[in-house]
Amino acid sequence: MKIALGGDHAGYEYKSEIISILESNEAEIKDFGPFNTDSCDYPDFVHPVANAVESGSFDLGIIICGSGNGVVMTVNKHQGIRCALAWEAEIAVLARSHNDANIVSIPARYVSLEQVKEIVEAFITTSFEGGRHQRRVDKIRC
């Protein structure tokens, strides 16, 4: 599995833990930044994640910022992206299984490290159920 990562300075602290989880699941990872805690503009780091997933170069994306909102709004501007904001594992499971989410947004300032681990594990190990959900997913694009 190939997974793209990005976010902002508020999410930087959790990124190394996310990378460890992904490596333990034998994922191929591309970190688009940021690479420190200096204040930055998240679109510079999450548009590349969306492009990588939308093009099919990567299977999934994980983005992380303070609230998770700015990054999710940014990547969802891409027609081929279905990004969900997940603050607990069950949201990540439902986003993947019912909505075929291909990127998850994590709100770093509102979740613990343990929750981050649970969200990432849930997101990368859950499959889309298809069936009745496919009809709805097909109606998302404008």
Answer for the pair 10, 109: CB distance below 8 angstroms, yes or no.
Answer: yes
- Pick the closest to residue 61 from 109, 27, 111, 12 (CA basis): 27
40 is known as an active-site residue: no
Would you report the helix, strand and coil content of the chain in percent, each value rounded to 5?
Answer: 50, 15, 35
65 is known as an active-site residue: yes
For 42-81, letters b (16+ CB in 10 Å) and e give bbebbbbbbbbbbeeebebbbbbbbbbebbbebbbebeeb
Query: Catalytic residue among 9, 40, 83, 98, which?
Result: 98
Query: Catalytic residue among 9, 40, 47, 65, which?
Result: 65
Tell me which amino acid residue 55 is.
S
71-111-30 Cα angle (round to 5):
50
Q: Which residues are identified as catalytic?
A: 65, 98
